[in-house]
Amino acid sequence: MLYVELIAQGLIQGSIYALIALGLTLVYGLLRILHVAHAAFFTLGGYVGVVVANQTGSLAAAIVAAMIVAGLGGIVVFRLCYQPILHQPPFVPLIASIGLYIAAEELFRIVFGPSGLTYKYAFLQGEVELLGFLRFKTGELVVVFGSAAIIGVLSLLQTRTRIGVACQATVSDPQMAESFGISLSRVGDINFFVGSALAAFAGVMVSVLNNMVEPTMGSVPSYKALAIIVLGGLGSVRGTLVAALVLGVVESFGTIYLGHFLDRNAIAFAFLILVLMWRPQGLFARS
Amino acid sequence: MLRLERFSCGYGLFRAVSELELEVPHGTITGLIGPNGAGKSSTLMCVAGHVNLLAGSIVFDELDIGGLPATERVRRGIAIAPEGRRLFKDLSVEDNLRVGGLIHPAGRFKADRDYVLSLFPRLGERLGSLAANLSGGEQQMLSIGRALMARPKLIMIDELSLGLMPKMVDLCYDALLRLKQDGMTILLVEQNTDRVLSVADHVCVLESGHAVWSGNAADARNDPTLAAAYLGLH
């Protein structure tokens, strides 16, 4: 019974990681840069969500608004911050990205204050019982099924639509994609929009579950998502999803069995180090 | 159709091709031949928009296209089957063809695909396979097919026969002749000069970035000094 519950809790946490890490993978796959500032869209999602929810009383409106604002913000970051320096060595965009993340955190502090915001209404706090012994917050189920649905729809779009196929072709060989009329800028826009919107969805859900949005809420997810995409084999979408869920479950077991001397994040990184010692290319490296 | 005038291209300070004059008339097959490193592939990639044009001009359909991005050149009617094929390996054969035809409305896909399959029936049996799993010959067919999906006026094919079994080379060359009958203009880069001379109308011989001979393929076939010096014919 305990195991089932731990696995379920791990999958909930893992879905949140997956939502955040997918955007990083999309950007890495396309541009080969580590988009550290990605976690700022997780935080941005949380802030837009709480502000819209408190104004309108509707969580659905908050989620949609957060995803759209973050998605557009992602496009702006791509066009203004990354595109002009893409031809530079990879550490240049990496440093720009770290700087951007720090600036974003400070911006949130200036605009929304250092102490964080809370929801005026209690969303999704009810409890649901499954199988007679598993109890979840409604919000936790929304996270798991919502992310599964969104990711499922995205993967269908990617394989079944012309735009999706164009994005895959661009990741595979950008120069040839251009030779068939695909604009790298537009594919970049799509990837940044989708990735940032997913992170924003995660940001809203985490802030609802914790009833708290604060400027630094993105920092732990930011480096954990980096760990996940390395674990998943850089650039592999499937690897990222599996790695996110595995990490969630490992953390959930770890906090029970090792929690008295290692905290949650230490467990996550100890696991990452162990896996990379065994498979330096990650669990699902692309050939 | 395509005219290169005092054409020089390269990467940074490195000049791959200097002062090349090349004319590819409408409806013909033009062969660009020469040894490894002569600048043949650089020439094609520059016409496609991926290598810097250092001097001179690229005139296509009486318009100078030297300043256009690659995405625009394919819309004007230039498609490439590049060196090394460079297929989208994680995509199926059908999706590779789909990407080839992205500049056209989705409604045209089936008809265009069927035209490619009539040229290369083998691809029809492999539509669902990943491009990475095709044989070398099938990959070359797909690379040409993908370029044809753009419905180009000019198709540029790089190293058509490299690494292919002779039977596959035959199939590809048969397809070229059929394309020519259908009115296509073809610029063909090859190291396999016998093959080129058998189908080409015109040839240009490049060596170390300079054109050392150009003219009718028939004249090239009958020119013993050319054959001995540049073409490795016996």
- ipTM of the assembly? 0.93
Contacts with A175 from chain B: Cβ below 8 Å: 50, 70, 86
B207 token code pair:
């060596």
Residue B111: φ, ψ to 5°: -65, -45
pLDDT of residue B230: 65
Q: Is B7 helix (H, G, I), strand (E, B) or coil?
A: strand
pLDDT of residue B86: 96
> Is residue A285 scored above 80 in pLDDT?
no
**Half-sphere exposure of residue A132, counting CA atoms within 13 Å on the CB side?**
1
pLDDT of residue B87: 97
Does B74 contact A173 at a Cβ distance shorter than 8 Å? no
Contacts with B80 from chain A: Cβ below 8 Å: 179
What mean pLDDT comes out for the span B21-29? 95
Tell whether A95 is covered by a domain: yes
Gap between the Cα atoms of B144 and B164, Å rounded: 14
Gap between the Cα atoms of A114 and A105, Å rounded: 10
> Is residue B227 scored above 70 in pLDDT?
no
Q: Is A203 helix (H, G, I), strand (E, B) or coil?
A: helix
Question: Which among B74, B89, B91 has the least Cβ separation from residue A179?
Answer: B74
Does A172 contact B70 at a Cβ distance shorter than 8 Å? no
Structural domain for A212, as ranges: 2-278
Contacts with A183 from chain B: Cβ below 8 Å: 71
**CB burial class (10 A; 0-12, 13-18, 19+) of residue B90?**
middle
Tell whether A286 is covered by a domain: no
Tell whether A285 is covered by a domain: no
CATH number of the domain that A274 lies in?
1.10.3470
Contact of B145 with chain A, judged by CB distance below 8 Å, is answered with: no
pLDDT of residue A235: 80
Contacts with A238 from chain B: Cβ below 8 Å: none
Question: Which among A166, A169, A178 has the least Cβ separation from residue B70?
Answer: A178
**How many domains would you assign to chain A?**
1
Question: Which among B90, B99, B150 has the least Cβ separation from residue A166?
Answer: B99
Gap between the Cα atoms of A96 and A264, Å rounded: 29
- Domain B2-91+154-231 superfamily per CATH: P-loop containing nucleotide triphosphate hydrolases (3.40.50.300)
Confidence of residue B231 (pLDDT cuts 50, 70, 90): low
**Smallest Cα distance from B192 to chain A, Å:** 25
Question: Which among B73, B86, B98 has the least Cβ separation from residue A176?
Answer: B86
What mean pLDDT comes out for the span B64-76? 96
Contact of B195 with chain A, judged by CB distance below 8 Å, is answered with: no
Contacts of B182 (CB under 8 A, 6+ apart): none
The answer to whether the CB of A214 falls within 8 A of the CB of A256 is no
Question: Which among A169, A175, A183 has the least Cβ separation from residue B99?
Answer: A169
How many beta carbons lie within 10 A of that of residue B151, not counting itself? 17
- Decide which of B222 and B42 is more confident: B42
Contacts with B79 from chain A: Cβ below 8 Å: 179-180
Residue of B nearest to A186 (CA): B71
For the stretch A152-196, pLDDT in tens is 999 999 999 999 999 999 999 999 999 999 999 999 999 999 999
Contact of B110 with chain A, judged by CB distance below 8 Å, is answered with: no
Does B102 contact A181 at a Cβ distance shorter than 8 Å? yes
Whole-angstrom CA distances from A265 to A221, A268, A275, A279 are: 10, 5, 15, 21
Confidence of residue A213 (pLDDT cuts 50, 70, 90): very high
Confidence of residue B222 (pLDDT cuts 50, 70, 90): confident
Contacts with B112 from chain A: Cβ below 8 Å: none
The answer to whether the CB of A73 falls within 8 A of the CB of A138 is no
Q: Which of B75, B102, B143, B157 to mutate to test the interface with A (most CBs of A within 10 A)?
A: B102
What mean pLDDT comes out for the span A18-31? 93
Gap between the Cα atoms of A235 and A172, Å rounded: 11
Q: Is A43 helix (H, G, I), strand (E, B) or coil?
A: helix
Gap between the Cα atoms of B12 and B40, Å rounded: 18
> Is residue A286 scored above 70 in pLDDT?
no
Contacts with B88 from chain A: Cβ below 8 Å: 168-169, 172-173, 176-177
Tell whether A230 is covered by a domain: yes
Closest to B39 (Cα-Cα) out of B67, B5, B9: B9
Tell whether A245 is covered by a domain: yes
Q: Which residue has the tokens 């394919």?
A: B74
Gap between the Cα atoms of A95 and A4, Å rounded: 42
For the stretch B101-154, pLDDT in tens is 999 999 999 999 999 999 999 999 999 999 999 999 999 999 999 999 999 999
Gap between the Cα atoms of A207 and A213, Å rounded: 5
Confidence of residue B234 (pLDDT cuts 50, 70, 90): very low
* Extents of the domains making up chain B: 2-91+154-231
For the stretch A229-257, pLDDT in tens is 988 888 888 899 999 999 999 999 998 88
